[in-house]
């Protein structure tokens, strides 16, 4: 408000008498019916002026609050009138208002969750920077453990036959060791969650589980993730087929969800049991050119997928800033008596290695781009979409 408030009124000199030796202040009457603008002329000593930044009086602040309350009440009445006009039926109106409140609460919760995620990322990046600064300190790093376990550091020569033998040996090692590697790291993540739970929450389900870690190395960084979930109403074979389709259609997903273009070129024989590819990624995020080895297997007890990179290949050299590695296992959960499959457990380990330090702003941006891959959202949605389509196309439907 722009009203001027006088602090006191000057009495008329003609009405001053000897029986009134002092001048008494007259308070401006306050009205509870509204806001009153009072314009008062005050005689001040010459040379003194009102301070420009004089703080508001308590009376002025109360009046401003009254104006704000009145405005909000008017808006509320207007909204209530619009709701009643649009939805005259009382039960429909109550249901719509309840749905609107729930939608608002969900939006508020989602906003808070996003802010907490941003804070968590900042803290993880800061912690990773500290890891880089104190590299020789005894700090546990799940990212380093995962990289050491899933990256075989396979090197290829120039001779075609020798290259194929090395790739086949890589495949054999993958099929033999990766299931136990995935199981070990996944169990460590579950134990980590349980260790931080109270006694009251100890028996609550741990799955689905998603853990994202950032690790600082001497001159690089690792972003790693462990994701575990249960896929109900599906067989082991169906989930395996769904993941095969996921990796096959991954370039389309990358383009659709992240704005990343992916070009693939097969680097070994098409009939080889192990697939060796050159992937070129461009667009949103960090450009990359990587040579990947994809090994997979389906048995009666489990399914396996392992993607590793080959950085030492004289025929197809690479010098990328980043590369990705992953290990996936699927295992059926059976009903003890009948042996019927109740669900399939999906365990997903993925890591990205960057030749960047944790405090590089490019890394924070990259993390936001690949988050749906890290937290399992992308592979879960792809698998569920495949299973849903398969179910709808079944003769039973």
Q: What global pTM score does this model have?
A: 0.66
Angstrom distance (rounded) from CA 312 to CA 322: 15
Angstrom distance (rounded) from CA 205 to CA 143: 25
For residue 138, what pLDDT band results from cuts at 50, 70 and 90?
very low
Q: How many CB atoms are located within 10 Å of the residue 48 CB?
A: 7
For residue 9, what pLDDT band results from cuts at 50, 70 and 90?
very low
pLDDT for 24: 45
Angstrom distance (rounded) from CA 384 to CA 238: 10
Angstrom distance (rounded) from CA 41 to CA 4: 10
3-state secondary structure of 128: helix
DSSP label at 255?
I
Residues whose CB is less than 8 angstroms from the CB of residue 276 and which lie 6 or more positions away in sequence, other chains included: 167, 266, 267, 268, 291, 292, 293, 310
Average pLDDT over residues 153-179: 96
Both ends of the chain: CA-CA distance in Å? 69
Q: Which of 39-43, 113-117, 156-160, 361-365 has the lowest mean pLDDT?
A: 39-43
Q: Is the pLDDT of residue 11 over 60?
A: no
The answer to whether 160 and 166 are in contact (CB under 8 A) is: no
Angstrom distance (rounded) from CA 1 to CA 67: 10
Q: Is the pLDDT of residue 308 over 50?
A: yes
pLDDT for 86: 84
Residue ranges and CATH numbers for the domains of the chain are 142-393 (3.30.530)
Residues whose CB is less than 8 angstroms from the CB of residue 267 and which lie 6 or more positions away in sequence, other chains included: 276, 277, 278, 291, 315, 316
For residue 13, what pLDDT band results from cuts at 50, 70 and 90?
very low
Q: Is the pLDDT of residue 259 over 90?
A: no
Q: Is the pLDDT of residue 210 over 50?
A: yes
State the number of CA atoms in the 13 A half-sphere of 142 facing the CB.
20
Determine if the peptide bond prior to 208 is cis (ω within 30°).
yes
pLDDT for 4: 42
Angstrom distance (rounded) from CA 265 to CA 168: 19
Backbone angles phi, psi at 274, to 5 degrees: -115, 135
Task: State the burial class of residue 201 (Cβ atoms within 10 Å of its Cβ: 0-12, 13-18, 19+).
Answer: exposed
Q: Is the pLDDT of residue 182 over 70?
A: yes
Q: Is the pLDDT of residue 10 over 50?
A: no
Give the CA dihedral 341, 343, 344, 350, nearest 10 degrees.
Answer: -170
Of 376 and 19, the structure prediction assigns the larger pLDDT to 376
Q: Is the pLDDT of residue 1 over 90?
A: no
């Amino acid at each position: 408000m722009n009203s001027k408030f006088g602090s006191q009124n000057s009495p008329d000199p003609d009405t001053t008498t000897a029986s009134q030796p002092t001048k008494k202040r007259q308070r401006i009457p306050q009205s509870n019916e509204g806001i009153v603008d009072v314009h008062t002329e005050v005689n001040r000593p010459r040379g003194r002026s009102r301070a420009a930044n004089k703080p508001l009086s308590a009376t002025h602040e109360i009046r401003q609050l009254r104006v704000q309350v009145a405005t909000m009440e008017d808006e509320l009445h207007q909204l209530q009138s619009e709701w009643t006009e649009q939805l005259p039926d009382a039960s429909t109106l109550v249901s719509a208002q309840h749905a609107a409140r729930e939608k608002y609460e969900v939006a508020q919760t989602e906003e808070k969750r996003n802010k907490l995620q941003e804070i968590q990322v900042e803290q993880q990046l800061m912690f990773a920077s500290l890891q880089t600064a104190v590299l020789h300190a005894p700090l546990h790093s799940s990212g380093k453990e995962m990289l050491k376990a899933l990256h075989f550091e396979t090197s290829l020569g120039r001779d075609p036959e020798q290259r194929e033998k090395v790739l086949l040996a890589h495949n054999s090692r993958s099929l033999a060791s990766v299931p136990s590697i995935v199981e070990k790291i996944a169990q460590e993540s579950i134990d980590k969650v349980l260790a931080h739970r109270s006694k009251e929450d100890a028996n609550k389900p741990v799955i689905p589980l998603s853990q994202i870690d950032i690790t600082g190395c001497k001159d690089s960084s690792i972003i790693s993730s462990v994701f575990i979930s249960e896929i109900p109403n599906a067989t082991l074979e169906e989930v395996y087929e769904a993941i095969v389709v996921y990796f096959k259609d991954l370039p389309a997903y990358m383009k659709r969800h992240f704005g990343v273009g992916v070009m693939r070129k097969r680097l070994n024989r098409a009939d080889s049991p192990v697939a060796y590819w050159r992937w070129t990624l461009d667009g949103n995020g960090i450009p990359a050119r990587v040579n990947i080895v994809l090994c997979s297997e389906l048995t009666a007890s489990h399914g396996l997928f392992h993607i590793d990179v080959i950085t030492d290949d004289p025929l197809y050299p690479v010098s990328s800033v980043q590369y990705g590695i992953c290990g996936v296992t699927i295992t059926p959960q059976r009903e003890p008596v009948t042996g019927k499959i109740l669900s399939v457990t999906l365990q997903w380990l993925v890591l990205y290695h960057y030749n960047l330090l944790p405090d590089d702003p490019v890394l924070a941006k990259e993390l936001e781009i690949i988050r749906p891959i890290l937290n399992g959202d992308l592979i879960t949605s792809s698998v569920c979409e495949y299973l849903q389509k398969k179910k709808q196309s079944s003769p039973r439907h």
